[in-house]
């Protein structure tokens, strides 16, 4: 029970990294390894979230973020401040960016 509470508190107070992607997008497919690296190395620092824009339920969120092309990645801190990722699609650059200002 205590572990579940700690996980819940962590998730509420952590930054999130949103990856807006499409499974049919070649650039997104090429970025899969970088995203998996971020998921595996940053799990205790940020909450990585995949958002498939092909799913109709996700369109409102993509519209809210102003996503008009994929892949698009945003980091959102606990206060709601957003930062658009504009770096290289390499695992090293993506993880370094996610670590910055956590």
Closest to 46 (Cα-Cα) out of 38, 55, 56: 38
Confidence (pTM): 0.84
Confidence of residue 12 (pLDDT cuts 50, 70, 90): low
| Per-residue pLDDT tens digits for 47-101 | 899 999 999 999 999 999 999 999 999 999 999 999 999 999 999 999 999 988 6
Q: 74 and 64 in contact (C-beta within 8 Å)?
A: no
> Measured between alpha carbons, how far is 91 from 38 in angstroms, rounded to an integer?
7
CATH 3.30.70.3270 fits 2-99, yes or no: no
């Amino acid at each position: 029970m205590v572990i579940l509470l700690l996980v819940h508190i962590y998730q509420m107070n952590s930054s999130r990294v949103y990856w807006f992607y499409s499974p049919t997008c070649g650039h997104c497919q090429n970025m899969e390894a970088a995203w998996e690296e971020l998921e595996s190395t940053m799990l205790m620092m940020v909450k990585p979230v995949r958002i498939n824009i092909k799913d109709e339920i996700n369109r409102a969120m993509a519209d809210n973020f102003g996503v008009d092309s994929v892949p698009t990645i945003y980091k959102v801190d606990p206060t709601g401040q957003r930062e658009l990722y504009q770096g290289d699609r390499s695992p090293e650059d993506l993880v370094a960016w996610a670590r910055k200002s956590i």
